[in-house]
Amino acid sequence: MSEKTLSVNKTLLTPFNIFAGIVLVIGFFITVLRFTKGLGAVTNLSDNNPWGLWIGFDLLCGVSLAAGGFVTSAAVYIFGMKRYHSAVRPAILTGFLGYALVVFALNYDVGRPWRLPYPFIIQQGTTSLLFEVGACVALYLTVLFIEFTPAVLEWLGLKKARNLVVRLTMLLTIFGVVLSTLHQSSLGALYLIAPSKLHPLWYSTYLPVYFFVSSIIAGLSMVLFESTLSHHYFEDKMDETHLKENTGVTLGFGKAASLVLAGYFTIKIVGLAISNNWHYLTTGYGAWFLLELLGFVALPCFLYAVGVRDKNVKLIRWTALLTVLGIVLNRLNISLIAFNWQLPSSERYFPHWMEIMVSVFIVVVGILVFRFIVTKMPILYEHPDYKGNH
């Protein structure tokens, strides 16, 4: 065996690649099982709990954490904050992959996935929230795909097509903001139908507002978290502009996240007051709610602020991770943990190991596709033929 082959084998057999390989193989077998034997063979879903981990994690967390795309492009193109321009492409890519994986995961979750386009053709009317979510996710995925194409077209050397798509940037950004505002809030509004099932501390008529505001926090934090990982693993792919602008992006996004978290904390307290739910705070669920509110909203809000004041980039990056975990906890609380809280524990839902494995499989697929795109296409650097041409 030549030295070259040896070195290739050495670089391919990294701990992450081995882990990813194992997950992909297991995921493949569960996929076969899911589509040949049905949902019952791989999930613990029931009539009491028709929405499980795939909705709670893959869809609700996926959609909120993919909000970085619309937040960043709105900041740069609508509000004119050009100093954050280097963050746009990675954010759009994260958003596009996030939404693509949401739709991918939905194919596992819905009983008859081939009927996913039905809401557009056969439906009871357009007043359904689920129709609005379906329509917006489908349209926004298309918008994100078009927003992402300049990177692909630059990579393929298709100059004319690339320039044509770049001209649509402002229109696509406005579409993105409108569609995201609609469906991020509608995802929260879906739970308005279940006041007797969702614990009063999480149930609120403000749920759509909470979901929308927290999606902005999720988007900002996810851009910071993704940029931390990119700096660690793909620093060699970054050009000078990207590296130079990074501290400014981190401080700016940290400041925005801190302020939105402060607003989110306030409206959560207002939600408690308006429903007069204070007495629940002394129960077990109350302690869990306070952990979410103080540990994953108030604490990151303060840490972001300290990080911004002290220009402590490392603290902001760690806080971004804490905030992302907080958003995941919030979505899981609403969809699983505080849902059906009055049922006896024997009737409660806990995901089957194969459901968890499919979620891990989907995340790993996302990371692998992200890695492929970032190493091949101009995401973390400007293509030399288009420098400053955006």
Partner 1 sequence: MEGGFYTLQDFMTYTKGITYLIMIVSLFSITGFWLFLTDRDTDTQSPEHHKTEHH
In 45-192, alpha helices (H): 53, 62-65, 68-73, 88-109, 118-121, 129-156, 159-167, 169-189
Q: Is 161 helix (H, G, I), strand (E, B) or coil?
A: helix
Q: Which is nearer to partner 1, 70 or 264 (CB)?
A: 264
Q: Which is nearer to partner 1, 255 or 371 (CB)?
A: 255
Instruction: Work out how close the CB of 266 gets to partner 1 at its nearest, in angstroms, rounded to a whole number.
Output: 5
Binding mask 281-320 for partner 1 (x = CB under 8 A): ------------------------x--xx-x---------
- 18 part of the interface to partner 1, by CB under 8 A: no
- 273 part of the interface to partner 1, by CB under 8 A: yes
Tell me which of 31, 142, 275, 312 binds partner 1, using CB under 8 A.
Answer: 275
Which tokens sit at 250? 């981190």
Tell me which of 113, 233, 263, 376 binds partner 1, using CB under 8 A.
Answer: 263
Tell me which of 126, 127, 196, 276 binds partner 1, using CB under 8 A.
Answer: 276
Q: Residue 69: which of 82, 85, 88 has the closest Cα?
A: 88
Instruction: Work out how close the CB of 201 gets to partner 1 at its nearest, in angstroms, rounded to a whole number.
Output: 15
The dihedral of CA 140, 98, 48, 44: what is its sign?
A: positive
Q: Residue 141: which of 151, 133, 153, 150 has the closest Cα?
A: 133
Tell me which of 266, 283, 375, 389 binds partner 1, using CB under 8 A.
Answer: 266
- 269 part of the interface to partner 1, by CB under 8 A: yes
* Tokens 């996935």 found at: 113
Binding mask 138-177 for partner 1 (x = CB under 8 A): ----------------------------------------
Query: Which residues in 159-173 are b (16+ Cβ under 10 Å) and which e?
Result: eeebeebbeebeebb
Tell me which of 197, 255, 348, 383 binds partner 1, using CB under 8 A.
Answer: 255
Question: Who contacts 239 (Cβ-Cβ below 8 Å, separation ≥6)?
Answer: 380, 381, 382
DSSP state of 76: I
| Number of residues counted as binding partner 1 (CB under 8 A) | 19
Q: Residue 220: which of 65, 336, 46 has the closest Cα?
A: 65
Question: Who contacts 132 (Cβ-Cβ below 8 Å, separation ≥6)?
Answer: 126, 182, 183, 186
Query: Which range, of 4-12, 171-179, 254-262, 290-298, touches partner 1 by CB under 8 A?
Result: 254-262
Instruction: Work out how close the CB of 311 gets to partner 1 at its nearest, in angstroms, rounded to a whole number.
Output: 7
Query: Which range, of 110-118, 161-169, 215-223, 251-259, touches partner 1 by CB under 8 A?
Result: 251-259
Q: Which is nearer to partner 1, 60 or 303 (CB)?
A: 303
Query: Which range, of 13-21, 38-46, 143-151, 267-275, touches partner 1 by CB under 8 A?
Result: 267-275
Tell me which of 112, 167, 232, 279 binds partner 1, using CB under 8 A.
Answer: 279
Q: Residue 163: which of 176, 149, 177 has the closest Cα?
A: 149
Q: Is 335 helix (H, G, I), strand (E, B) or coil?
A: helix
Q: Which residues bind partner 1 (CB under 8 A)?
A: 251, 255, 258-259, 262-263, 266, 269-270, 273-276, 278-279, 305, 308-309, 311
